Every structure is written in structure tokens, then in C-alpha cells.
Structure 1
Amino acid sequence: MLVVEDEPLIALMLEDTLEEHGWHVSSVAMNEADADSYLSKESPDLAVLDVKLGGGTSARLARVCSDRQIATVFVTGLGAEDLPPECSGRPVLQKPFSPEDLLAALKAA
């Protein structure tokens, strides 16, 4: 699993929660470039993407994941009206979220 989250504490919480519940996190990327580097070498089954990355969004990464048939879960502090179209039809977790909500979203992906 790939986790892409630009806030270090949230990235750590995601990684810890996922691994505590039996998921294998193969990479945590803090930005789009790190995610691209990982995806150029690996093909995870699942990606957890923060919608807002730095000054932009993870929309392009979402398209890459979709093209490669990598299931995607989005996490965000944005309201539903501000989500990019790439989030449509995929699980979206509003921050803050519980571990139970995260696990349910992963199963839905």
C-alpha cells in the first residue's frame, strides 16, 4: 500500500493504524514527486491519497492510480463541494477520521 500525505503526523498515524490492523504499508510519500518515484518502480494494490498536497491536489496521482487499476481511498479536510472530480465514486474520508472509518473505507475500495 502507498500512503501519500504531506502532513507528517497524519502520515505517521495512517501508517501506524494500517500496520496495527494487518495492512502492509510499502511506502509513505510526503509529496507528489516521492509518490511518482515509488510508482515508477512498484505497483501497489491500494493507495491512500491526501486530496490536498502542498499547493495542489492529488488529482493527477489519482488518475495514475486509476489507469493502473490501483484502488484508491482519499483523505481530506475539504468539504464535498471542493473535491476534485477524481474523487467521484471512490471512498473519501473527512479529517479527522477514526481508525474504524479508515478500515471501512479500505474495504470499500
Structure 2
Amino acid sequence: MSEIVDTRAGATKVLVVEDEFFIADELRRKLTAAGLRVLGPVSSNEHALDLLEQERPDVAVLDVHLGGARATPVAAKLRQLNIPFVLATASPAHELASPVLADAVILEKPTDFGLLIETVRRVVK
């Protein structure tokens, strides 16, 4: 998936990390329509970490499973940078038992986009 960066000044910047193309595209469209600036979407830890080196988001939306990998390296980097994140995942609770994911806001898939947008705005403040 190619990186799309919305350049609207002043908009809340949301990093989207999601490996399912159609979900990632829908997240991008819904967040952009809500007036948020989307960084990505990116589909791997490597791409997310590279993007974090280039630009600092205000918040991130992460899928826990990215292909055969877990998004914990991205979550750890976000915690290090003090950037809040929301997990949008279908993973069961026992798969989220990781110190880096502790206390993360979790929204279950299928994603309620209205709730996601509300949650993103809430965690940024």
C-alpha cells in the first residue's frame, strides 16, 4: 500500500497502521472526512517506524496483527514518544496481554467509525 500524507495544516495527525487494504483505505477515508490528517496508512512495523522518523503524529490507530508480525514495536515507539494510540483489532484479550499494550484504548473490529473518530479525538486531548 502506498503512503498517503494529507498536508492540511492544523489538522490532528493520525498515523494509521493496518495491513488489510480495504480496512486501511476505509479508515483513511473516514478519518479524512472527519477533518483529521492521515499519515499512511502503512501496513508494516517497518513502514510505521520509518514514517515516525519523518513525522510525528498526534495519535495513532493500530491493528495488532500485521501479517505475521505484531504491532508491539510501533506501540513501544509511540509510548517512548508519548503519543497516544488506539488499537482497532479483532484480537482476543489474551493476545493483548503485553506491557506495551497495557492500558491502551481498544476498539473491536468490525470498526464503528463514529466511535473510532470520537475516541481518536478524545485521546489526543
User: How many residues are aligned here?
Assistant: 109
CA RMSD of aligned residues (A): 1.2
Match of 1:54 in 2: 67
Using the size of structure 1 for normalisation, the TM-score is: 0.92
Greater Rg, structure 1 or structure 2?
Answer: 2
Aligned AA (1:35): A
Structure 2 SS opposite 1:87: coil
Rounded Cα–Cα distance in structure 2 between residues aligned with 1:26 and 1:8: 15
Preserved CA contact (<8 Å) 1:5 1:28: yes
Identity %: 32
How far did 1:55 drift? Answer: 0.7
Residue in 1 aligned with 2:27? 14
Distance 1:105 1:90 in 2: 12
The question of whether the paired residues in 2 share the 8 Å contact of 1:59 and 1:84 is answered with: no
Larger % of helix: which?
1
Which ranges in structure 2 are unaligned for 5 or more consecutive residues?
1-13
| Deviation for aligned residue 1:79 | 1.3
What SS is found at the alignment partner of 1:28?
Answer: strand
Identify which of 99, 102, 105 aligns with 2:119.
105
Which 4+ runs in 1 deviate beyond 6 A?
Answer: none
Following superposition, the deviation at residue 80 of structure 1 comes to 1.5
